């Protein structure tokens, strides 16, 4: 059971997943906010049932899974409905993440959350770690990975907290503007720090 949680964040394409996987290689359990966000509305879940009760069957696909596009359409430009869905899902996501962290067997847990600061998830963790790169590199790596347009990436970057804001809030920062091979060493040093902090917490 792990009581010490490190929140790992960074903008799109910064290298969160790459860094998280290096911690996993060292035996540290990962709890991923994006995965939990999908789990809480999976087929027959409490979350999905509540959404169907509120919006009706039109938010369901034929196979009983959530029709994300239909739900997006319903809450698009509708603050009241957007608030309703956020009020339902945010507490559910938080509770599930904390439960998953508590159940982890490693000495501490890495909570991966792209919007750690934006969604106030930093309040759930003992320490925060930011993967930092310039917006130009962010754009370049995301375009290369996702085959999306520069315009799309710019919009996503614009919707996330600014680089300066994240840098001012994070306890630890990994500069990921160099080679991937340089990350291993940085992760290993942070792992030593987190093992120490979690054992004395
Ligand atoms: P995030 O999870 O923050 O969106 P990823 O870990 O998926 O970011 O990294 C974005 C892309 O950049 C991936 O294709 C990844 O392989 C690549 N990448 C990550 N770190 C580096 C690096 N230091 N040098 C070059 N490419 C990198």
For ligand 1, atom 13, the nearest C-alpha belongs to 145
d(CA 201, CA 196): 9
What's the CATH fold of domain 33-105? Rossmann fold (3.40.50)
* CATH superfamily ID and name for 1-28+108-201: P-loop containing nucleotide triphosphate hydrolases (3.40.50.300)
The 10 Å Cβ neighbour count of residue 161 is 16
| Residue 176 Cα: closest atom of ligand 1 | 23
d(CA 152, CA 105): 39
Question: For the chain, how many residues are written?
Answer: 201
Q: Residue 70: is its pLDDT beyond 80?
A: yes
For residue 16 and ligand 1, the question of a CB distance below 6 A is answered with yes
What totals of helices (H) and strands (E) does the chain contain, helices first? 9, 5
Distance 43 CA to ligand 1 centre (A): 31
Q: Residue 1: is its pLDDT beyond 80?
A: no
pTM equals 0.92
For ligand 1, atom 23, the nearest C-alpha belongs to 180
Measured between its terminal Cα atoms, the distance across the chain in Å is 13
d(CA 83, CA 187): 38
For residue 140 and ligand 1, the question of a CB distance below 6 A is answered with no
Mean pLDDT across the stretch 145-158?
Answer: 92
């Amino acid at each position: 059971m792990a009581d010490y949680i490190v929140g790992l964040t960074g903008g799109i394409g910064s290298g969160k997943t790459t860094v998280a996987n290096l911690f996993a290689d060292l035996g540290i359990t990962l709890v991923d906010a994006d995965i939990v966000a999908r789990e809480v509305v999976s087929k027959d879940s409490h979350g999905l049932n509540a959404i169907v009760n509120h919006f009706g069957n039109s938010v369901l696909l034929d196979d009983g899974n959530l029709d994300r596009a239909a739900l997006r359409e319903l809450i698009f430009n509708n603050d009241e409905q957007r608030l309703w869905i956020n009020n339902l899902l945010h507490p559910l996501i938080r509770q599930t993440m904390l439960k998953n962290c508590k159940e982890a067997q490693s000495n501490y847990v890495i909570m991966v959350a792209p919007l750690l600061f934006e969604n106030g998830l930093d309040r759930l963790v003992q320490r925060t770690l930011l993967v930092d790169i310039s917006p130009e590199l962010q754009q370049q790596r995301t375009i290369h990975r996702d085959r999306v347009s520069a315009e799309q990436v710019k919009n996503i970057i614009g919707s996330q907290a600014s680089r300066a804001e994240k840098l001012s809030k994070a306890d630890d920062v990994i500069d990921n503007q160099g080679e991937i091979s340089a990350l291993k060493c940085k992760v290993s040093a942070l792992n030593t720090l987190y093992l120490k902090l979690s054992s004395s917490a």
